[in-house]
A and B are shown apart, each in its own frame.
Chain A
Amino acid sequence: MALLDIKNLHANVAGNKILKGINLTINPGEVHAIMGPNGSGKSTLANVLAGNEIYEKTQGKIQFDGADLDDLAAHERARAGLFLAFQYPVEIAGISNMYFLKAAVNAVREHRGEEQLDAMDFLDLIEDKKQVVKIRDDLLGRAVNSGFSGGEKKRNEIFQMAMLEPKLGILDETDSGLDIDALRIVSDGVNALRTPDRSFLVITHYQRLLDYIVPDFVHVMVSGEIVKSGGKELALELENDGYASWAGEEGV
Chain B
Amino acid sequence: MKIKDEKSFDELTDKEYKYGFVTDIETDTLPPGLNEGIVREISRRKEEPEWLTEWRVKAYHHWTTLTPPEWAKVEFPPIDYQALSYYSAPKQKIDAPQSLDDIDPELLETYKKLGIPLGEQEVLAGVATVAVDAVFDSVSVATTFKNNLEDVGIIFGSFSDAVKEHPELVKKYLGTVVPYKDNYYATLNSAVFSDGSFCYIPKGVRCPMELSTYFRINAANTGQFERTLLIADEGAYVSYLEGCTAPQRDENQLHAAVVELIAHKDAQIKYSTVQNWYPGNKEGKGGIYNFVTKRGHCRGDNSKISWTQVETGSAITWKYPSCILKGDNSVGEFYSVAVTNNMQQADTGTKMVHVGKNTRSTIISKGISAGKAQNTYRGMVKVVETAENARNYSQCDSMLIGDRCGAHTFPYIDINNPTAQVEHEATTTKIGEDQIFYCNQRGLDTEEAISLIVNGFCKEVFKELPMEFAVEAQKLLGISLEGSVG
Within the complex, are A and B direct neighbours (CB within 8 Å)?
yes
- Chain A residues packing against B (C-beta within 8 Å): 50-54, 73-79, 83-84, 86, 89-90, 92-95, 98-100, 102-104, 106-108, 111, 119, 122-123, 140-141, 143, 160, 164
Q: Is the CB of B437 within 8 A of A100?
A: no
Q: Is the CB of A104 within 8 A of B442?
A: yes
Q: Is the CB of B442 within 8 A of A160?
A: yes
Question: Which residues of B have CB within 8 Å of A111?
Answer: 443
Question: Which residues of A have CB within 8 Å of B456?
Answer: 92-95, 99, 143
Say which one of B2-10, B108-116, B387-395 lies at the interface with A.
B2-10
Q: Is the CB of B441 within 8 A of A107?
A: no
Given contacts A86-B438, A94-B459, contact A107 B3 (CB under 8 A): no
- Chain B residues packing against A (C-beta within 8 Å): 1, 3-4, 6, 9, 432-435, 437-446, 448-449, 452-453, 455-457, 459
Q: Is the CB of A90 within 8 A of B442?
A: no
Question: Which residues of A have CB within 8 Å of B439?
Answer: 75, 92, 100, 104
Question: Which residues of A have CB within 8 Å of B455?
Answer: 95
Q: Is the CB of B1 within 8 A of A51?
A: no
Q: What is the bound-complex CA distance between A164 and B444, given in angstroms?
A: 12
Given contacts A92-B435, A95-B453, A95-B456, contact A78 B442 (CB under 8 A): yes
Q: Is the CB of A100 within 8 A of B1?
A: no
Q: Is the CB of A73 within 8 A of B1?
A: no
A51-B441, A54-B433, A99-B3 given; 15 more Cβ-contact pairs under 8 Å = A50-B437, A73-B445, A75-B442, A75-B444, A76-B445, A77-B441, A78-B441, A83-B441, A92-B456, A102-B3, A102-B6, A103-B9, A108-B443, A111-B443, A141-B1
Question: Which residues of A have CB within 8 Å of B453?
Answer: 92, 94-95
Residue of B434, B443, B444, B448 with most chain A CB atoms under a 10 A cut-off? B443
Q: What is the bound-complex CA distance between A13 and B263, given in angstroms?
A: 62
Q: What is the bound-complex CA distance between A111 and B442, given in angstroms?
A: 12
Q: Is the CB of A90 within 8 A of B434?
A: yes
Q: What is the bound-complex CA distance between A51 and B437, given in angstroms?
A: 8
Q: Is the CB of B443 within 8 A of A75?
A: yes
Q: What is the bound-complex CA distance between A78 and B9, given in angstroms?
A: 18
Q: Is the CB of A74 within 8 A of B440?
A: yes
Q: What is the bound-complex CA distance between A156 and B15, given in angstroms?
A: 35
Given contacts A75-B443, A95-B455, contact A103 B1 (CB under 8 A): no
Shortest distance from the beta carbon of A103 to any chain B beta carbon, whole Å: 6
Question: Which residues of B have CB within 8 Å of A79?
Answer: 443
Q: Smallest CB-CB separation from B451: which chain A residue? A: A103
Given contacts A95-B453, A98-B3, contact A52 B437 (CB under 8 A): yes
Q: Is the CB of A107 within 8 A of B448?
A: yes
Q: What is the bound-complex CA distance between A164 and B438, given in angstroms?
A: 14
Question: Which residues of A have CB within 8 Å of B438?
Answer: 86, 89-90, 92
Q: Is the CB of B1 within 8 A of A75?
A: no
User: Mind listing 12 A-B residue pairs with CB under 8 Å?
Assistant: A50-B437, A74-B440, A75-B446, A78-B442, A92-B456, A95-B452, A99-B4, A100-B439, A103-B452, A107-B445, A108-B443, A164-B442
Q: What is the bound-complex CA distance between A103 and B453, given in angstroms?
A: 12
Question: Which residues of B have CB within 8 Å of A103?
Answer: 6, 9, 444, 448, 452
Question: Which residues of B have CB within 8 Å of A164?
Answer: 442-443
Q: What is the bound-complex CA distance between A76 and B443, given in angstroms?
A: 6
Given contacts A164-B442, A164-B443, contact A99 B435 (CB under 8 A): no
Question: Which residues of A have CB within 8 Å of B448?
Answer: 75, 103, 107
Q: Smallest CB-CB separation from A52: which chain B residue? A: B437
Given contacts A107-B444, A108-B443, contact A119 B437 (CB under 8 A): no
Q: Is the CB of B1 within 8 A of A98?
A: yes
Q: What is the bound-complex CA distance between A84 and B442, given in angstroms?
A: 8
Choose one: A53, A83, A94, A122; the contact of B437 (CB below 8 Å): A53
Shortest distance from the beta carbon of B471 to any chain A beta carbon, whole Å: 13
Q: Is the CB of B441 within 8 A of A50?
A: yes
Given contacts A53-B437, A92-B435, A107-B448, contact A122 B443 (CB under 8 A): no
Question: Which residues of A have CB within 8 Å of B445?
Answer: 73, 75-76, 107
Choose one: A78, A93, A119, A123; the contact of B443 (CB below 8 Å): A78
Shortest distance from the beta carbon of B193 to any chain A beta carbon, whole Å: 40
Q: What is the bound-complex CA distance between A164 and B433, given in angstroms?
A: 22
Q: Smallest CB-CB separation from A92: which chain B residue? A: B435
Q: What is the bound-complex CA distance between A95 and B457, given in angstroms?
A: 8
Q: What is the bound-complex CA distance between A99 and B438, given in angstroms?
A: 15
Q: Smallest CB-CB separation from A143: which chain B residue? A: B456
Q: Is the CB of A100 within 8 A of B452?
A: yes
Residue of A52, A53, A95, A108 with most chain B CB atoms under a 10 A cut-off? A95
Shortest distance from the beta carbon of B97 to any chain A beta carbon, whole Å: 41
Q: What is the bound-complex CA distance between A230 and B152, given in angstroms?
A: 82
Given contacts A95-B455, A99-B3, A102-B3, contact A107 B443 (CB under 8 A): yes
Question: Which residues of A have CB within 8 Å of B442?
Answer: 75, 78, 100, 104, 107, 160, 164
Shortest distance from the beta carbon of B481 to any chain A beta carbon, whole Å: 16
Question: Which residues of A have CB within 8 Å of B432?
Answer: 90
Question: Which residues of A have CB within 8 Å of B449?
Answer: 75
Question: Which residues of B have CB within 8 Å of A76?
Answer: 445
Q: What is the bound-complex CA distance between A84 and B446, given in angstroms?
A: 17
Question: Which residues of B have CB within 8 Å of A83?
Answer: 441
Q: What is the bound-complex CA distance between A53 and B448, given in angstroms?
A: 18
Shortest distance from the beta carbon of A87 to any chain B beta carbon, whole Å: 12
Q: Is the CB of A119 within 8 A of B444?
A: no
Q: Smallest CB-CB separation from A141: which chain B residue? A: B1
Q: Smallest CB-CB separation from A166: which chain B residue? A: B443
Shortest distance from the beta carbon of B312 to any chain A beta carbon, whole Å: 18
Q: Smallest CB-CB separation from A102: which chain B residue? A: B3
Question: Which residues of B have CB within 8 Å of A123?
Answer: 1, 3
Q: Is the CB of A73 within 8 A of B452?
A: no
Shortest distance from the beta carbon of A113 to any chain B beta carbon, whole Å: 14
Q: Is the CB of A78 within 8 A of B440?
A: yes
Q: What is the bound-complex CA distance between A203 and B365, given in angstroms?
A: 44
Shortest distance from the beta carbon of A203 to any chain B beta carbon, whole Å: 15
Q: What is the bound-complex CA distance between A74 and B448, given in angstroms?
A: 13
